[in-house]
Amino acid sequence: MMTGKGYKIFMFMPFRILPALAMTLVFLIPTIGLADIYRSVDKNGHVHFTNVPTTNEFRFYRGEGDKYRLETLIAHFAEKFQLDKSLLKAVIKVESNFNPLVVSSKGAQGLMQLMPGTAQEIGVKNPFNPSDSIYGGSFYLRKMLDSFDMNLEHALAAYNAGPNAVRKYGGIPPFEETQNYVKKVKHYFDFYSRSKDTF
């Protein structure tokens, strides 16, 4: 009954009141997107964000913002896999320029440009989800660093061209793309190390 009455009142509202109502709605609309962000971490270490928490596992984190969300994800997985945050930023910058939906000509997907086979191998179900992508890329980068005795150049080359290519050539393969990739990541690694709050 209340809904019906409210509907009738609105329908018969004098026309002079409608412009005022419209202006009120215009001023209210921009605030809709300024929701609080809540975060939870599941048993696999994946970070989940929402502005509408559905369980008590979500905890208030802070105001909404894509940049802050990426900073949070990068910090979380850098700590989880014992990586430098600046290194993760550098890899993401070179791989996707922070575009979570990008797909390369070879089929690599998401922020950290995981190939479908690699994503499946390391348990990433949705490479276009920033949390899944950064988890998978961090996991794989950690694996490459461990495989090549913490040699950063070799690990980056393996991330780009595959570990077998690095082993075959005993170092960075003679591929222009891979050689440029290693140089670019090292450049941005240095840049983000000096400018930690920058994307």
Q: Which residues are identified as catalytic?
A: 95
Strand 36-41 and strand 47-50: the pairing is antiparallel
CB 189 within 8 A of CB 86: yes
Strand residues in 59-188 grouped as ranges (E)? 59-63
10 Å CB burial of residue 186 (0-12, 13-18, 19+) is middle
CB 122, CB 112: distance < 8 Å = no
First-last CA distance in the chain: 54
Cα separation of 174 and 20, whole Å? 68
Query: How many Cα atoms occupy the beta-carbon half-sphere of 158 within 13 Å?
Result: 24
